[in-house]
Amino acid sequence: MTVPIECRPDETFVLNLGPQHPATHGVLRVKLTMDGEYVVNAEPVLGYIHRMHEKMAEEGNFARFLPNTPRMDYLGALSYNQGYVMAVERAAGIEVPERAEYIRTITVELNRLSSHLLWFGAFVLDLGGFTPLLYAFDDREKILDLLERVTGARLTYCYYRFGGVYNDIDDEFITGTREFIKRLRSRLPSLYHDLVTGNIILIKRLKDIGIITPETCRKYGATGPVARGSGINYDIRKNEPYSIYPELDFDIPVYDECDSMARYMVRMDEIEQSLRIIEQSLDKLPDGPIKAKKVPKILKPAAGDYYTAVEAARGSFGCRLVCDGGKGPYRLKLRSPTYSNLSLYEEVTEGMMLADALAFMGSLDLVIPEMDR
């Protein structure tokens, strides 16, 4: 419930939420000015884990920055890996083999699934439900096993290379992925939707809570499930197609209710769409090389200004790469989707009850290291 708040300094108090608190996501601090149970002002405070990624990129060569990319959004690392290599490939004029593009799509969508599953479990836990977390992590473990087999890592994946991928996928990976698709589809109706989506407690906590209008999304640059939960049909995979997405048949879930329940439904529907994308990619997977030929170890793209964007689990992740003809970026600007999504939090939470503000925060799916670049 949201009510208009008239600020009464003698009646208000300041409550620090975070940076170490079980109700926050990562090391986020929210400075709350409260009037009883109602939020007068909620000021997000960042910087507790800032690591100067962009400056680090400018100090080394192009390849040296590759391991940094998964350490921003560690839950959707492959999207960040992909966005950066695509920017460098565009600058250097590198053509990626078709098989490598299919492998990138399969693995990045698996990573999107693992990210959404973790969000699902953590979000319901924020609202007081523990059991769904166990089911979500049980399914997520299967994805981590699959990705570990081809990337060598379980979280901070550095698998993509300029011109392709690090190594090929094998029959065991393909068989395991198909088995996982079948498994998750069989579990979604009962363990996710019957248990959680249709639960009256969840509905009461989310429906009509945290209303984000389309105008607010545009004002703050919100993208991803946050924008699509507010009726904005924008997904870079469709609106600015890249890789093999134009060759695949999938839908973009959009809800017009603009509340926390709508954002929940967008992500749950995206789970099924990612399964469709992976299944089609496996069916169409071509033979051929997984790396472009004759890619120099030290790249020196021509001077220029280049931009690429990918649809990460939380929205539009963009890389603006400025080259001066040297062996590393002259300037690298990383566009964080979560930073824009969090920016609207202060405006939307005004007059909201504290418990609803926490539920609303969970619906934004925040990953703080991605903001604190």
pLDDT of residue 155: 92
Q: Beta strand pairing status for 304-312 and 164-165?
A: unpaired
DSSP annotation of 272: H
Q: How far apart are CA 113 and CA 147, in angstroms?
A: 12
DSSP-assigned beta bridge partners for residue 44? 30
Q: Which domains does the chain have, with CATH numbers?
A: 53-365 (1.10.645.10)
pLDDT of residue 48: 87
Residues 299 and 327 sit within 8 Å (Cβ to Cβ): yes
Query: Looking at residues 180-188, what average pLDDT do you find?
Result: 97
194 CB-near residues (< 8 Å, 6+ apart)? none
Query: Looking at residues 141-157, what average pLDDT do you find?
Result: 96
User: Which tens digits make up the pLDDT trace of 317-357?
Assistant: 999 999 999 999 999 999 999 999 999 999 999 999 999 99
Q: How far apart are CA 104 and CA 305, in angstroms?
A: 25
Q: How far apart are CA 227 and CA 232, in angstroms?
A: 5
In this structure, of 4-18, 265-279, 288-302, 303-317, the range with the lowest mean pLDDT score is 4-18
Higher pLDDT, 8 or 280: 280
Residue 26, pLDDT > 80, answer no
Residue 231 burial class via C-beta count within 10 angstroms: exposed 0-12, middle 13-18, buried 19 and up: middle
Burial per residue of 291-328, b for 16 or more beta-carbon CB atoms within 10 angstroms, e otherwise: bbeeeeeebbbeeeebebbbbbbbbbbbbbbbbeeeeb
Token couple for 132:
């769904």
User: Which tens digits make up the pLDDT trace of 122-148?
Assistant: 999 989 999 999 999 999 999 999 999
User: Which tens digits make up the pLDDT trace of 57-92?
Assistant: 999 899 999 999 999 999 999 999 999 999 999 999
Mean pLDDT for the chain?
Answer: 94
pLDDT of residue 8: 62
Q: How far apart are CA 256 and CA 251, in angstroms?
A: 16
Report the chain's C-alpha Rg in angstroms: 21
pLDDT of residue 49: 85
Q: How far apart are CA 136 and CA 253, in angstroms?
A: 21
3-class DSSP string for 49-96: CCCCHHHHHHHCCCHHHHHHHHHCCCCCHHHHHHHHHHHHHHHHCCCC
Q: How far apart are CA 357 and CA 363, in angstroms?
A: 10
Residue 4, pLDDT > 60, answer no
Q: How far apart are CA 80 and CA 145, in angstroms?
A: 20
Residue that is written with structure tokens 């020196």 in the block: 300
Cα 154 from chain centre: 16
User: Which tens digits make up the pLDDT trace of 103-127?
Assistant: 999 999 999 999 999 999 999 998 9
Q: What is the dihedral of CA 349, 351, 356, 358, to 10 degrees?
A: 40
pLDDT of residue 133: 96
Quick one: angle between helices 171-187 and 260-284, nearest 10?
A: 150
Residue 7, pLDDT > 80, answer no
Residue 4 burial class via C-beta count within 10 angstroms: exposed 0-12, middle 13-18, buried 19 and up: exposed
SS3 call for 139: helix
pLDDT band at 251 (very low <50, low <70, confident <90, very high): very high
pLDDT band at 272 (very low <50, low <70, confident <90, very high): very high
pLDDT band at 6 (very low <50, low <70, confident <90, very high): low
pLDDT of residue 19: 84
Q: How far apart are CA 99 and CA 78, in angstroms?
A: 17
Residues 223 and 315 sit within 8 Å (Cβ to Cβ): yes
Q: How far apart are CA 367 and CA 34, in angstroms?
A: 25
SS3 call for 245: helix
User: Nearest 5 degrees, angle CA 206-CA 211-CA 216?
Assistant: 145
